Chains A and B, each alone.
Chain A
Amino acid sequence: MKKLLAILLALLILVGCSGGGNNGGGGTEEDDVVIFQNENVRKAIGYAIDRVAVAKSLNDGSVAAEGIIPFKLASNPVTGVDFRDDQGSVVAYDVEQAKQYYAKACEELGKDKLKLNLLYGTNEGDSVIKAAEQIAYFLEEVGFEVTLVSKQKKERLQLMTDGDYDVALTRWGPDYADPQTYMDLYVSYNTSNNAGRYNSATYDKQVEDAEATTDMSERWQLFLDAEKTLVQEDFGVIPVFQAGGAMIIRPTISGIEFHSAAVDNYRHIVGKDEVNLITNTDIVYLDYQYATDGTSFIAETLFTSGLTELDADGNYKLDLAESFEMSEDGTVYTFKIRDDANWVDVNGNVVRTVTAQDFVDGWDRLISPELASDYSWWITDVLLAKSWEAVDEKTFKVTLEKPNGIFLGCLAFPSAFPINKEFIDAQGDQYATSAETILSCGPYILKSWTPGYSYEFERNADYYFDDEYTAAGTAKKIVFRVLEDTQTALMEYEAGNLDTVILSGEQVDANKGVEGYVDRLQGYLFYLSININHYGE
């Protein structure tokens, strides 16, 4: 009997070892050649990828990247031309050249074949999986031996933080409409974001100079140059595609405003009293100073307001601020907050008026280390605010380090919204965990939220409505339904129970001709991060 058990145990262990034996997914360190430090390796990768073909196979409105800065992110402060049009393409697809660089790299490194692991996330959308397969295919065409390493997003990020990868398909969504949101990522001292440890003194200097200067057109030129250094000369990152988003919006409704570099605006929907919208992810957190995802932000811009909001073209317009004054040197802004701006609870009862102190409290809370918000740097690094104070009940004064062209637009971001401090303190841990534990000061009130299922907004009767929108009659009720499966969602749309639907790449061809089909461009730019210091296999 004992013998039998022993045999059984031995068998289990044996099989266990054979399965777990060849552990260690990353590169081997026996080889002391760091292949990605070889410029020709990176050039071979850069030239190998047919970005147009990748974007086309995704078929969801994604477009081939022409640089690390996405389309429609920012425009030249003098001429108003889009960054991408100003710069032109800084990437190219050329198989012959890629093969030449590959051969050169092999020669220099003394290898017959170059192997690399391509890391990507499996739960970051179908387009990422498809794109990874496509990229691997194109790299293999040139001669690389590619192993696709698929991981959950959190693990992918951990591997990247630890520097345990060769090449990773990753993305960055712009926080604000300025090249800086991308350019900051790859300076040598940004240890959080520059996972590949791209290190170029030229690039660092260009970015630093751009951020230091007050001359807007010089700044612009420096960013153009910096992108060239990063992408075209050094191949420090390999841009691949800019995410799209195919949707159908029922032709009877209009007013959903998409922004590629800011939060989409759902405040101005007209055409129907009650609209049923789709969302493929749920709200993560109602605390707008803590949230990080687009879905939460969209919901938060409905029930709260900032000093400004964005119109359909992405230009700022005043919201809770009635008026503002800017000092001559452009560093001091004084906002007058609307008298009729109030905090209301879930039932629409007015709690009290919105004061300048609420903005001070909000900004103080955002930057406080205890909150550990992802956007704690918003006030100081993006708005460039040095100090802020409540002059009187309705007057809010901000002093900037230097003039900031994007200041007013960036006030429309939920991180810069006011808070009702005594309410938050009273709620304690419960704050922002349900419709009842938040206050509204925006055009809508969150009436209910069933996590994983739906959340509903009703128009806030207390909110001042712009003539423009009251006249048109914005929707009285907005219901968001959380649905992940695109095929049943489309059926539900066709059955008339939904007013918008998100399409997967597979569904686009069959629905392109449908009335209401929209091909939007999102801000997310997907690129290959090359781990310069990693030992290739």
Chain B
Amino acid sequence: MKKYIVKRVLISLATLFVILLVLFILMDLMPGTPFNDEKLTEAQKALLYAKYGLDKPLVTRFFLYCKNMLKGDLGVSYAINKNFAVSGMVKDRLGISIAVGGMAMFIGTVLGLVLGILAALNHNSWIDNLCSAISVLGVSIPSYVCALLLCYFVAYRLGWLPILYNVEQPFISLILPAIALSVSPTANIARFTRSEMIDVMNSDYILLVESKGVKNWKMIISHVLRNTLIPVITVMGPILVNLLTGSSVIEKIFGIPGIGRLMITAIQENDYNVTIACAFVYSVMYIVVMLFVDILYGVIDPRIRIAKEEK
């Protein structure tokens, strides 16, 4: 197992390197420059290119970037907050996105599992139908519509929570955005849990457990849930990454200075360093979470562990 983990970590690092290279090439392909502006002349653009070293060949820039990155220097912003150190910008905004995303993930996981398990246990009853309807609505109504509805009724009409994000009451003012963000994950997790659990409960080994006379609740916890969770974890990984790296629309609605909004602005403004940094943060999270899921997979499911150790 240890050897397997080390190998996976090394492979993940190599993957990240390739992703960084791809990102660099993609940036180079973007049409326009960070300095496109109605009022800037071509000569000035060329000057700025030289000033920021963008006139050097791609390979040189890439290795320079890698070298600086190891020192924690991600370059400076060209367009969003000119001359700001990108590492600082990303750090400030990532924290808050992780806070909202983490809360949303928590709500989504708890609600999703509860809904999914309830539906599966009451398969083909009205509870099942209700849970299904909720999860279908959850994915077909966009999060920004939910967000505005919450803002309007809970915050504006009832005044229970602040309308917008407020730096002085971070927790209270992040509850609404987290709920709005959790709608779609809740739906996805609920649906997936339900169908997996129904599958598992119909499987032969559960029938065997049942026939052995193991008590119902014990059977559900130790046999059904355990086997249900394996595929559910695979879908939770990417959902988590998406939540933690921020949602630009939710951040826009609630006035949250998060990383999702930063990345969209960076892409629009052709702010290369900021785009690469935001995208790379996403990549790192994604790869780490996938690695974690893979390893966890082995812990939960003995079959996979064995299959892997054989190799």
A interface residues, Cβ below 8 angstroms from B: 123, 152-155, 157-159, 161, 170-173, 175, 191-193, 282-285, 287, 290, 292, 369-370, 372-376, 429, 431-433, 450-454, 481-485, 487-489, 491-492, 494-495, 497
Contact = CB atoms under 8 A, between A and B. Distances in A.
A488 B38 contact: no
B252 A374 contact: no
B195 interface: no
B92 A451 contact: yes
Nearest to B258: A452
Given A123-B268, A429-B83, A488 B33 contact: no
B17 to A, nearest CB: 24
A488 B151 contact: yes
Given A284-B81, A285-B81, A450-B167, A488 B39 contact: no
Contacts of B84: 433, 451
B36 A158 contact: yes
Nearest to A429: B83
Main secondary structure of the interface of A (DSSP, over half): loop
A28 B286 CA distance: 43
B72 interface: no
Interface string B84-95: 110001001100
Given A372-B44, A488-B163, A452 B268 contact: no
Given A375-B39, A376-B44, A284 B80 contact: yes
B148 A433 contact: no
A11 to B, nearest CB: 22
B81 A155 contact: no
A429 B83 CA distance: 7
A488 B148 contact: yes
Contacts of B51: 370, 372
Top-3 shortest CB links A-B: A452-B257, A158-B32, A154-B32
B31 A155 contact: yes
Contact of A152 (B40, B262, B268): B268
A452 B262 contact: yes
Contacts of B41: 192
Max chain A Cβ within 10 angstroms of own Cβ: one of B83, B84, B92, B148? B83
15 contacts: A192-B41, A283-B81, A284-B79, A292-B39, A292-B40, A372-B47, A374-B40, A376-B44, A451-B81, A453-B167, A482-B257, A483-B255, A485-B254, A488-B148, A492-B163
Contact of A450 (B32, B85, B148, B257): B257
A406 to B, nearest CB: 18
Contact of A153 (B83, B159, B165, B268): B268
B34 A488 contact: no
B294 interface: no
A432 B84 CA distance: 9
Contact of B253 (A433, A451, A454, A485): A485
Interface of B: 31-34, 36-42, 44, 47-48, 51, 76, 79-85, 89, 92-93, 148, 151-152, 155-156, 159, 163-165, 167, 252-255, 257-258, 261-262, 267-270
Contacts of A292: 37, 39-40
B133 to A, nearest CB: 28
Contacts of B252: 484-485
Contacts of A285: 81-83
Contact of A485 (B80, B156, B255, B267): B255
Contact of B255 (A170, A374, A481): A481
A495 B158 CA distance: 11
Nearest to B259: A452
Nearest to B261: A452
Contact of B33 (A158, A290, A375): A158
Contact of A433 (B83, B155, B165): B83
B32 A193 contact: no
B268 A154 contact: yes
A390 B40 CA distance: 30
Nearest to A493: B163
Contact of A154 (B36, B163, B165, B167): B36
B267 to A, nearest CB: 8
A68 to B, nearest CB: 15
A285 B76 CA distance: 13
A482 B269 CA distance: 18
Nearest to B81: A451
A277 to B, nearest CB: 14
Nearest to A434: B84
Contacts of A170: 38
Given A370-B51, A432-B83, 17 more contacts: A154-B269, A157-B37, A158-B32, A158-B36, A284-B79, A284-B81, A287-B83, A372-B44, A374-B39, A376-B44, A451-B257, A452-B93, A452-B261, A453-B165, A482-B255, A485-B252, A491-B151
Contacts of A488: 148, 151, 163-164, 253-255
Contacts of B44: 372-374, 376
Nearest to A162: B31
Contacts of B80: 282, 284, 451
Contacts of B156: 491, 494-495
Contacts of A495: 156, 159, 163
A292 to B, nearest CB: 6
A16 to B, nearest CB: 16
Contacts of A450: 92, 167, 257
B29 to A, nearest CB: 12
B129 to A, nearest CB: 34
A192 B46 CA distance: 13
Nearest to B270: A154
Contacts of A153: 36, 268
Contacts of B76: 429
Nearest to B165: A453
A193 B39 CA distance: 8
Contact of B38 (A157, A482, A489): A157
A156 to B, nearest CB: 8
Contacts of B38: 157, 170-173, 193
